[in-house]
Structure 1
Amino acid sequence: MATAILLSALAMSVIVGVRYLLASGGFALATRVRKPGLYRGLGRQIGREIGWSLASALIYGIPAGVVAWGWQARGWTRIYSDMRDFPLWYWPLSVLLYLLAHDAWFYWTHRWMHRPRPFRIAHAVHHASRPPTAWAAMSFHPWEALTGAVVIPALVFLIPVHVAALGMVLTIMTVMGVSNHMGWEMFPHWMVRGPLGRWLITASHHQRHHEHYACNYGLYFRFWDRLCGTDRGLGSFRETA
């Protein structure tokens, strides 16, 4: 049993690492095409971002692998694979519930990490990316990576979710994490500056966090920032030469 759990954890770590390399690499390539020169002179920083991110992939993979083994071998979780187990309308609802729960967890742990001691010990690693790049999405100190690694594995014990819906949650998490750090806005102006953008976090919103630190703590939605008075609007991006 221990060997099976270890192999599952290692396999999941590899999957998370490959997912990171493909997603960040893809958005970095898009940046080279759309914004040539944006990452000029940031080679050493990007190397550090990749190193920290691959270490984070290992940390993210361990609880995910244990949960995956428990689901397959013991039926521990509330993950289901038969669409008939719940009404069809529950599928998108479950995705939204996971995003809302993850967003709340992220907001409060992220805000806590901006207190002087946690910031100095852990979160400073992420903010060492100045400016952040597409490779910085998982550039975390191990302690910070651990706070992010436990939330989705914990939720699968609490909220029923179809395996494909869980895949959708992980896809959204990956795309938002990478795109929000890449240094330019991929979403259209009408969305970012319009009513939808008032509630969704995009690169423009998260850029302000990396500019001023004590604001814009959310991950997917601006709800908590607005409720708690930490929303400071949209940031700006550096110009390429």
Structure 2
Amino acid sequence: MPASLGPGPWAVIASAAAMTAIVGVRYLVTSGLFAWITGRVRPGIYMGLNRQIRREIGWSLLSAAIYGIPAGLAAWGWQEHGWTRIYTDAREYPLWWMPASLLACLFLHDTWFYWTHRWMHLPRPFRIAHAVHHASRPPTAWAAMSFHPVEAITGAVVIPALVFVVPVHVGVLGLVLTIMTVMGVTNHMGWEIFPRRLVHSRIGHWLITASHHHRHHESYRCNYGLYFRFWDHLCGTDRGLSSP
């Protein structure tokens, strides 16, 4: 378990500030890396988008602060009071629970994202908040966290809330956050990084990659999921792949 932050409100503030810094640095490093890869693999694809990219970075760093607050509260609650269901001893639950908890967290996150995302496309929430994200035309690797604060709040609460409900090993939680970060960035790069044989396979039929999410940025009223196409298929909102 990490070292105690100590009692009192300053410990909560310090935890939130630390998590804000971690989220911000994680965003800059990951988006920066994939933007660099994009420049090498697809030179010129972001040409003329400097102003848009600066705007995406600004909104994303504001989102990092919003994401950091509930994450910091959850970290403080875990360290100081054991409030969460995060565990560090792999023997505390059967080993099969590690992959099962990974899938559970991803599916629950995907479910929350799908329905809040559909809500964001109603006229009033879209005008107030979600239009910020869709101002990225086309999206770039820097757009993954480019959210209005209202939308950032809906995304920021879900993982901190899950750790109070789902028993999850700290290593599995780290993997959830890694998958969330990488998929959030790669789905917005404006080109498909994953092999065609995967994207067009039976497994790919159920996974969201840039080819699927780019269609959402083109057509708006479809392809709402984050990780999986389950809810899109079930609700008839899957419109297939684009050709980014």
TM-score normalized by structure 2? 0.97
Match of 1:202 in 2: 209
Deviation at 1:150, TM superposition (A): 0.2
User: Which one of the candidate residues 71, 89, 96 is aligned to 1:89?
Assistant: 96
Q: 1:46-195 alignment to 2 at 5 Å?
A: 46-195=53-202
CA deviation string 1:128-181 (max 9, x = no partner): 000000000000000000000000000001000000000000000000000000
Q: Distance in 2 between matches of 1:64 and 1:180?
A: 23
How many residue pairs match? The answer is: 237
Q: Does 1:45 align with 2:52?
A: yes
Moved over 4 A (4+): none
Q: Distance in 2 between matches of 1:18 and 1:191?
A: 30
Q: Distance in 2 between matches of 1:195 and 1:162?
A: 30
User: Which one of the candidate residues 33, 38, 47 is aligned to 1:31?
Assistant: 38
Match of 2:5 in 1: none
Letter in 1 for 2:221: A
Q: CA RMSD in A?
A: 0.4
The SS at the match of 1:120 is helix
Letter in 2 for 1:140: F
Deviation at 1:196, TM superposition (A): 1.1
Q: Where does structure 1 lack aligned partners over 5 or more consecutive residues? A: none
Deviation at 1:201, TM superposition (A): 0.3
Q: Distance in 1 between matches of 2:170 and 2:112?
A: 22
TM-score normalized by structure 1? 0.98
